[in-house]
């Protein structure tokens, strides 16, 4: 795949990531308990089909192609072809959030905010980080530290973008939805999400929103 085609692929993945996770997060905010149950059923079905797709079950591959054509498979990274997709990992954390909502009355706005951080911050961080690295700038992370894998493949430029845009989208949501959001809770959640995104190389679609959510929830309870 040429550099230009790879770049186009990155932008397509970013748009899909933004729309898919962003819409799912907002649906959680707006939907009632009945619709939430329907989403849970769809999520479980998606996880099962994606798992069977990852182990090359022909019926699962055919089912996905029937509903999405080649789109789903074109969005997969090479590393996802033999394992569950990044979307499935977000669906998994969504199911965990629903359980927490049912059992412990998890604040709906915190779950929505943590999802929006991932929806907006993650694709922007990836695009900005790759642009900086392509232009010969490693995001202020010294080559020695990069070789030691302290920061994995991430850059400070990408992480700074993640932080800034996550703050903006959470502030925008809380303003439009008229939700009272403590700045301490907001910043703590964004800082946690940024650090987790910086250090994780896999399952970031699970750990970024989950860690941010747990941090915000804990501070909201304690403060």
Portion of the chain with pLDDT greater than 90, in percent = 63
Neighbour tally for 214: CB within 10 Å: 15
What are the pLDDT digits (tens) for 174-208?
999 999 889 999 999 999 999 998 888 789 999 99
Say how far apart CA 44 and CA 111 lie, in whole Å: 19
What are the pLDDT digits (tens) for 61-105?
999 999 999 889 988 888 898 999 999 999 999 999 999 998 999
Is the dihedral angle over the CA atoms 183, 186, 192, 197 positive or is it negative? Answer: negative
Q: What are the backbone angles phi and psi of residue 99, rounded to the nearest 5°?
A: -60, -45
Query: Domain-by-domain residue ranges, the chain?
Result: 3-222
What are the pLDDT digits (tens) for 18-41?
999 999 999 999 988 888 889 899
DSSP 101-150: HHHH---HHHHHHHHHIIIIIHHHHHHHHHHHHHTT--TT--HHHHHTTS
Q: What is the distance of C-alpha 29 from the center of its chain? A: 17
Residues 141 and 156 sit within 8 Å (Cβ to Cβ): yes
């Amino acid at each position: 795949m040429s550099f230009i085609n790879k770049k186009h692929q990155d932008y397509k993945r970013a748009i899909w990531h933004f729309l898919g996770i962003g819409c799912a997060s907002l649906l959680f905010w707006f939907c009632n308990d009945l619709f939430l149950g329907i989403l849970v059923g769809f999520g479980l079905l998606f996880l099962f089909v994606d798992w069977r797709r990852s182990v090359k079950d022909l019926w699962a591959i055919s089912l996905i192609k029937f509903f999405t054509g080649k789109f789903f498979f074109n969005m997969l990274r090479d590393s996802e072809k033999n394992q569950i997709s990044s979307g499935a990992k977000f669906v998994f954390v969504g199911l965990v959030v629903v359980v927490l909502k049912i059992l412990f009355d998890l604040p709906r706005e915190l779950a929505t905010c943590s999802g929006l951080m991932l929806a907006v911050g993650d694709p922007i961080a990836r695009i900005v980080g790759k642009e900086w690295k392509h232009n010969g700038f490693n995001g202020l992370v010294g080559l020695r530290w990069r070789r030691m894998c302290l920061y994995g493949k991430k850059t400070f430029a990408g992480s700074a973008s993640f932080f800034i845009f996550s703050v903006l989208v959470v502030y925008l949501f809380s303003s439009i939805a008229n939700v009272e959001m403590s700045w301490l809770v907001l910043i703590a959640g964004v800082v946690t999400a940024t650090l987790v995104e910086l250090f994780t190389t896999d399952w970031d679609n699970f750990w970024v929103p989950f860690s941010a959510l747990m941090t915000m929830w804990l501070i909201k309870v304690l403060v």
